[in-house]
Structure 1
Amino acid sequence: MSNHHLRDRNLSLRAIGLLSKMLSLPDDWDYSVPGLVAICQESKNIIQGALKELEKNGYLVRTMTRDSSGHIGYNYDVYEQPQHTLPRPEKPFTVEPCTVSPSTVEPCTEKPATIKY
C-alpha cells in the first residue's frame, strides 16, 4: 500500500482510514456499503460520506450495474493514488424521459434543494 493517501491533506482522517481498510482487502472482495459497515465500527451514513469523499478526490470510482433481475449495484475501483482522469463507464446509466402531459402537472413553487457532498 502506498503512503500517498496518508499524506493527502484533502482527505479527512475517516476517509484515510476507510481507504486504508479497503486497500488491505483482497482484490476479489465484494465491496458494498453493508459489507464495509460490517467490518468497520462506523454507521452506514459515515461509510457513505467517506466513500463520497474518496470519490470526490479521485481515490474511488463507482459505476452503477444492473443484474438480469433489475437489481442495481455498484462496482468499486479503488486506487492508491488519485485518478485525475476518471474513466467513464461503457454504458452510462440514463433516465427515461418524462411522459406526463404538461397540462396535468402543477408548476413547482418551491426552490430546489441544494445538496452538498
Structure 2
Amino acid sequence: MAPTHLSAPSRASSAPRRTAPRSGVLHVNVRHTTRYTVVGNHLAQHEKLSLMAIGLAVHIQSLPDGACIAIKALAARFPEGEICVAAALRELEAHGYLARTKERLPNGRLATRTVSYNRPGHLPLEPEPDPEPGRRPEPEAQPEPQPAPRPSPAPKPAGPAAPPALRGPAASLLAGLHLREPRLLLSERDVHRLAPGVTAWLDRGAHPDAVCRTLTASLPDDLKHPAGLLAHRLAALLPPPLPAKPPAPDPLQNCDRCDRAFRGPEPGACPGCRSTHEECAA
C-alpha cells in the first residue's frame, strides 16, 4: 500500500500562483461592490502634495454634493487642527483639485462655494442616471411586428454637443478676456485649468478689473501661446495675502474700587487702583 503524504494538497489548484515580492508591500485586494470611491494615481501618488493634502482630497471626493467642508467642520471631524486643514486645502487649490469662489447670497452676505475636481484639467462627463437601489430594471416590451416603413431621407449629422457652462467669477473673467484683447481667446480646457490661479488672486483681495489689467497689459507682439503666458503671470505676479486684522481692543469694564471705566480682558480693579494697592502692600 502506498504511503500517505499529509503535507500534500488534497487537489491541485488550477489558479496560477503569483510570485510574492521579497520586500516591500504585498497587496491583498478585494473587489468593492458598494460604498467605494475611485481615486486616480495622479492624486494618490502626487509628488508635490503632502500626505495630509492627499488624504483630505480623498475624503472630500468621497463626500456627496452639498456636504460641508469648511475648515472648522473638517477640524472637528479629524484630529488635525484648523491650521493643518487650512494648509492642506491651500495645497489642493494650488494644484487644481479644489476651486473656492466667493458668491453673494440673496440676503447680501458672502458665501464660499467650493468645487472639487477629481482630475484637474479635464472636463467632467455627464453622469448617467442610476436605477433605483434594490430594483431590477424592467425588461423592455417587445414591439409587435409592423410592416416595413418606406425609406426616409438620411438625417443630417448632428452638431457637436454643447459643452458644460463655465461657472464662477474666475471662469467668467478668463472667458471674457478676449473682449479686451482679441489675442487672449482661450479654449474651455484652458479656462478650467487657469481658473484656480485667478481664484487665488480674488481670495487675496484683488479686484477683477485689476486682474484683467495685469493679464492683458503689454502683451508680446509674437504671442503664440496665450494660456501659457497667462499661467506664468498668474503665478509670478500673485499679490501677497491680505494683512491680518488688528486685534480687537479689550472691552470696557467698571473698576470694582473706584467705579471708573477702563479697558481690560476681565472685570476687576483698574490699573490705577491695582498700582495703589501694590504700593500699600509693599
TM-score over 0.5 (shorter chain): yes
Q: Which residue of 2 aligns with 1:111?
A: none
Separation in 2, partners of 1:55, 1:32: 14
1:12-91 matched pairs, under 5 angstroms: 12-83=50-121, 89-90=168-169
Q: Which amino acid aligns with 1:12?
A: S
Separation in 1, partners of 2:122, 2:63: 24
Q: Which residue of 1 aligns with 2:256?
A: none
Q: Which residue of 1 aligns with 2:197?
A: none
Q: Which residue of 1 aligns with 2:7?
A: none
Conserved 8 A contact 2:100-2:115? yes
Q: Which amino acid aligns with 1:15?
A: A
Q: What is the Cα deviation at residue 28 of structure 1?
A: 2.4
Q: Which is strand-richer, 1 or 2?
A: 1
SS in 2 for 1:36: helix
Q: After superposition, what is the alpha-carbon deviation per residue over 1:43-100, rounded to whole angstroms, capped at 9, x for unaligned?
A: 1111111110000001001111222343322111111122379x662477675xxxxx
Conserved 8 A contact 1:58-1:84? no
Pairwise CA RMSD: 2.7
Q: 1:70 to 1:34 in 2, by over 3 A?
A: farther
Separation in 2, partners of 1:35, 1:74: 14
Conserved 8 A contact 1:37-1:44? yes
Q: 1:84 to 1:3 in 2, by over 3 A?
A: closer
SS in 1 for 2:65: coil
Q: Which amino acid aligns with 2:57?
A: L
- Most deviating of 23-32 and 48-57: 23-32
- Select which of 26, 40, 62 maps to 1:3: 40
SS in 2 for 1:77: strand
Separation in 2, partners of 1:24, 1:76: 15
Identity rate, percent: 31
Conserved 8 A contact 2:39-2:58? no
Q: Which amino acid aligns with 2:62?
A: S
Pair member with larger Rg = 2
Structure 1, unmatched stretches of 5+, are 96-113
Separation in 2, partners of 1:82, 1:20: 14
Structure 2, unmatched stretches of 5+, are 1-37, 124-165, 174-201, 208-239, 242-282
Q: 1:44 to 1:71 in 2, by over 3 A?
A: farther
SS in 1 for 2:67: coil
Separation in 2, partners of 1:71, 1:47: 24
Q: 1:71 to 1:42 in 2, by over 3 A?
A: farther
Q: Which amino acid aligns with 2:80?
A: E
